[in-house]
Structure 1
Amino acid sequence: MAITTTTHLNFRGAAREALEFYRSVFGGRVVAVTYKDAGNVQDENEADWVMWGEVVADNGFHVMAYDVPAQQPWQQGENPFFVSVRGDDAEEIGALWQGLADGSTVVRPLEPAQWAPLYGMLTDRFGVTWVLDVTASYNG
């Protein structure tokens, strides 16, 4: 199985604008799933914010982004990114999770999510936040 790592950028209400900007620079296509699209609206003012988005270009450029909800802490430049590890094999993603979990703080346990067979987030002992998930086909 192959896994990929991708920089996952964090914004507060500007993820779609950032994704469109990066697409204009690097080319490719934008996919943006809003909190409303995912049925996960916590604040009506944030319903159209990006819960999961990416730009993927044929030249190899790939970046992911989302809008951090207001109920979670966020300061521009303070926690600007996550490292996303994606794969299609739950066993391998689980093993990677176990390795990273040593000395980490679990933000969200690795478990099934509405949008993925497995999804979890942790901050490792070095302060790096990792998002691990098993890919699911997008039917948007």
Structure 2
Amino acid sequence: MQVQPYVFYNGRCEEAMKFYGEKLGAEVLFQMRFKDAPPSEGQTMPPGNEEKIMHTSFRIGSTELMASDGECNSASPRPAGFSLSLTADDVPSAEKYFNALADGGTVMMPWQATFWSKGFGMVVDRFGIPWMVTVPHEGG
């Protein structure tokens, strides 16, 4: 069994994929736009959204995620009830990723050493996606 995060970007998916590619080295594995889907009864996308992303699969490090523009409603509130957790190999890498995700986003907990980690921080990126960035706890 495998569980993968599926993130809806409310019309900003392509921008998010480019941002994560530049900042985190994300790689798009598969992508389909709404214009690529066969017309189906009762499921129409408002005009002007044909180029929006209906589905994409992408990889960050060894994790595969899935995403979409969803209903392309930029007025929708940001997603809630989850956070993506990024665990880096070392403190410099983790801090670099944290700062990259904070670019245009909102820092919820500044990057810092904690009692459980040499580095941890929480940020909501420019797309409204909450992230927890950390390095592994040493000693078990």
TM-score scaled by structure 1?
A: 0.44
Task: Mark the structure with the bigger radius of gyration.
Answer: 2
By percentage of residues, which structure has more strand? 1
